[in-house]
Structure 1
Amino acid sequence: MRAGLFIALIAAAWLGGGQVQEALAQTQPSASPGESRKASPRKESAPRKETRRSADPFTVGFVTGTPQCTEFAIARDIATTLASGQETGPHGEVALRVVPIVGNGGVRGVLDVLTLAGADVAIAPVILVDRLRDAKTFGDISDKLAYIAPLHVEEFHLLARPEIARLTDLAGKRVNLGEDGSAGAVLGREVLNRLGIKISESNLGPEAALDGLRKGDLSAALLVSGKPVSFLTQVSQLDGIHLLPIPYFKELLQQDYLPSTLRHQDYPNIIAAEASVDTIAIKSALFAYNWPIGSERYRLLELFVQTLFTRFPEFLGDVHHPKWREVNLAALLPGWRRFRPAERWLQQQSGGEAALRKAFGRFLEGKPTAKPPDREELFQDFLRWRERNPAK
């Protein structure tokens, strides 16, 4: 019975993902420039989060992109680093484990965090999550998701065959934008629409797309991921494949996209010395399911945040991906509320807690019944009240 229920729940989540893919990742050729500049996903009924008890209450489920992308490497960095130096629990269990869950780096990852009991956090493009929230594709998700911290930017890598010299050469050609619902499929289509380039769209994974380029079945293939993407070391100038520039047209892209550059040091196997390739990029962030305060999963994520933030300097070394050096944990994400334990940790580091304690001490002055132990207990109650009432 339990197995059957579990399978049914998983099937329901996947079916929900299919509906979203229909709405956000249609497979028609890119639209003309006169069409809407933004994706207009169809509204779906709000998904329900599975709340069954986790088989391992010490494990954080981390949804990320495909194994070929940088975002998966970031999740792996977190998993391996936080696993080291961990004390064990009373029965020998690991106190905190992070398990990467393979997604497509797009809509499906967001849906997984919103629905699956074992999915707690995800790396996702901010623009894509904004689209889902504003269109209410999954209902009102403003209170269901919170961000832990903004992360790095993800660059657009447009690989092309030798006969393709500029973006306009792709008109009418077969171009792979990535799997349905991925950031490349949703946002790549949007960018091409804005630039008025109509293509014949393909939706293959990275390995199949690279094979299609080599065989001539595809004229170009898009990969949206933080540079340098280790998967692209498989590409050689001997293949005749090169990175195609994506010009940054300010009037068309400024609101949602950033200008960026790919350089020889990023991809010495594709870009010649002293050369560079202009492209565009998007911001990414680490989002979390906003579990109820005091719940088992909330406490687990609180431990995850405290451990990740405390050990953040370890990720800045050469053994980890260079994208870590772009991360500013204290940066804000407009339009979203930060996960409460993350906000509290940052306040404590910046002297926020010291200021609160000073103000609280002045409040209790002249109250002789408040002994020191009572004061500390009252202060902790006060902090918990602020978590429940963040606007006050």
Structure 2
Amino acid sequence: MRAGLFIALIAAAWLGGQVQESLAQKRLPASPSETGKALRKESTPRKETGRSADPYTVGFVTGTPQCTEFAIAQDIATTLAGGQETGPRGEVALRVLPIVGNGGIRNVLDVLTLAGADVAIAPVVLVDRLREARTFGDISDKLTYIAPLHIEEFHLLARLEIRSLSELSGKRVNLGDDGSAGAILGREVLNRLGVKVSESNLGPEAALDGLRKGDLSAALLVSGKPLSFLTQVSQLDDIHLLPIPYSKELLQQDYLPSTLRHQDYPNIIAAEASVDTIAIKSALFAYNWPSGNERFRLLEFFVQTLFARFPEFLGDAHHPKWREVNLAALLPGWQRFRPAERWLQQQSGGEAALRKAFGRFLEGKPTANPPDREELFRDFLRWRERNPDK
């Protein structure tokens, strides 16, 4: 966490002038009660190009330091930093710099405007809405995607006396920073399910403090499980995870059913217990730099390096959400970054070969009492190290 905050502070200092200038020209949209109304049309933002950016550093916009998406960005930054040849002064050909966003509209806006912001993790449904509502004009040719990522679960923390979603009606509920995925999509979900709340827009730490003091009845966090921030919560706080029922009629088009289990949060979910919730898909989006631009060439190198070293992210040292990622998966309605598409088509290795190799590995395992999938996958990675040609 300290390392993440340190990286975030460096990023903030480096881009601070650009952020202030950009947001002075383009303020974030307001957040009325309905998502469709919240994403109001505004003039198309311009990408800053006059100010020179570090030609070796990819700016990676992510969520707050408490979220899993920031941990994913840190995984990429630290892994790609290793294994590179350094110059006479210790310089490397590729660096990845995590930049703190809000996990929602700010992530998209930063990629669209800041010269040093190249890629961002963002919820697919939210980016789709921004495009459809033309909130920032036509962004179809300004954004491209590198790969779909993992799903982000809705974590609804509630005071112990709140036992069902309907009991939150009229209560004060924190949905996260204004413009975040939690604020926009959480508001939409509650409205669809007919639960009218008094909305608060605090950060994660302040929201947790409000829950403990009783100033809030509930607080929503939208991020991939397991969320390390929730290790701060215990059953002694009189806080629990409240189920969010999945309704096909009201939620099927944009949301997925999911489950939070004891192994995800042993500190607040009892053994053998589980909590039903909903989730959204996330993806790694990029600014669609012109092919002759130096940022395009840097992004191409980033993609080639990330894809080639993708198997490294599947081990125990990295976040479990990496095991949900399928680099070759498609994102309907969006154009994939051209070098990423070429890599996937040309490489005999990558995700497709890894899955085939995993299948060959499974053929040699006994069928009786198989170990759980995570343990099996760890065995597989060790097997790959011993058998690199298979």
- TM-score under structure 2 normalisation? 0.83
- Which residue type is aligned with residue 49 of structure 2? T
Q: Matched residue of 1:18: which SS? A: coil
Q: 2:23 aligns with which of 14, 31, 49?
A: 14
2-side partners of 1:57 and 1:327: how far apart? 28
Which residue is equivalent to 1:381?
none
Deviation at 1:12, TM superposition (A): 3.7
Which residue is equivalent to 1:59?
57
- Which residue type is aligned with residue 127 of structure 1? V
The count of corresponding residues between Structure 1 and Structure 2 is 335
Structure 2 residue 320 is the aligned partner of structure 1 residue 322? yes
Q: 2:167 aligns with which of 155, 166, 169?
A: 169
Deviation at 1:10, TM superposition (A): 3.4
Identity of aligned residues (%): 83
Off by >4 Å, runs of 4+ in structure 1: 6-9, 36-40, 89-92
Query: Given that residues 26 and 45 in structure 2 are in contact (C-alpha distance below 8 angstroms), is that contact kept between their aligned partners in structure 1?
Result: no
2-side partners of 1:238 and 1:171: how far apart? 25
1-side partners of 2:116 and 2:124: how far apart? 22
Query: Given that residues 113 and 120 in structure 1 are in contact (C-alpha distance below 8 angstroms), is that contact kept between their aligned partners in structure 2?
Result: yes
- Which residue type is aligned with residue 254 of structure 1? Q
Deviation at 1:70, TM superposition (A): 0.1
Which residue is equivalent to 2:73?
75
Which residue is equivalent to 1:85?
83
Which residue is equivalent to 2:307?
309
Map 1:1-392; keep pairs closer than 5 Å: 10-15=19-24, 18-20=27-29, 22=30, 25-26=31-32, 38-52=36-50, 54-89=52-87, 92-349=90-347
Query: Given that residues 39 and 131 in structure 1 are in contact (C-alpha distance below 8 angstroms), is that contact kept between their aligned partners in structure 2?
Result: no
CA shift digits 1:154-185 (9 cap, x unpaired): 00000000110000000000000000000000
- Which residue type is aligned with residue 217 of structure 1? D
CA shift digits 1:87-144 (9 cap, x unpaired): 2347652110000000100000100000000000000000000000000000000010
Structure 2 unaligned blocks of 5 or more: 1-14, 350-390
2-side partners of 1:226 and 1:197: how far apart? 24
Query: Given that residues 53 and 116 in structure 2 are in contact (C-alpha distance below 8 angstroms), is that contact kept between their aligned partners in structure 1?
Result: no
2-side partners of 1:83 and 1:97: how far apart? 6
CA shift digits 1:256-293 (9 cap, x unpaired): 00000000000000000000000000000000000000
Which residue is equivalent to 2:356?
none
2-side partners of 1:77 and 1:156: how far apart? 22
Which residue is equivalent to 1:383?
none
2-side partners of 1:220 and 1:252: how far apart? 22
CA shift digits 1:310-329 (9 cap, x unpaired): 00000000010000000000
Structure 1 unaligned blocks of 5 or more: 1-5, 31-35, 352-392
1-side partners of 2:85 and 2:98: how far apart? 21
1-side partners of 2:89 and 2:228: how far apart? 39
Which residue is equivalent to 1:360?
none
Query: Given that residues 155 and 260 in structure 1 are in contact (C-alpha distance below 8 angstroms), is that contact kept between their aligned partners in structure 2?
Result: yes
| Greater alpha carbon shift after TM alignment, 101-110 vs 6-15 | 6-15
- The structure-2 alpha-carbon separation of the partners of 1:310 and 1:280, relative to structure 1 and needing over 3 Å to count, comes to same
Q: Greater Rg, structure 1 or structure 2?
A: 1
Query: Given that residues 35 and 184 in structure 2 are in contact (C-alpha distance below 8 angstroms), is that contact kept between their aligned partners in structure 1?
Result: no
Query: Given that residues 176 and 182 in structure 2 are in contact (C-alpha distance below 8 angstroms), is that contact kept between their aligned partners in structure 1?
Result: yes
Query: Given that residues 67 and 228 in structure 2 are in contact (C-alpha distance below 8 angstroms), is that contact kept between their aligned partners in structure 1?
Result: yes
Query: Given that residues 41 and 135 in structure 1 are in contact (C-alpha distance below 8 angstroms), is that contact kept between their aligned partners in structure 2?
Result: yes
| Greater alpha carbon shift after TM alignment, 69-78 vs 84-93 | 84-93
CA shift digits 1:62-101 (9 cap, x unpaired): 0000000000000000000000011234765211000000
Query: Given that residues 175 and 202 in structure 2 are in contact (C-alpha distance below 8 angstroms), is that contact kept between their aligned partners in structure 1?
Result: yes
1-side partners of 2:66 and 2:38: how far apart? 29
2-side partners of 1:47 and 1:158: how far apart? 34
- Which residue type is aligned with residue 134 of structure 1? E
Deviation at 1:153, TM superposition (A): 0.0
2-side partners of 1:52 and 1:289: how far apart? 16
- TM-score under structure 1 normalisation? 0.83
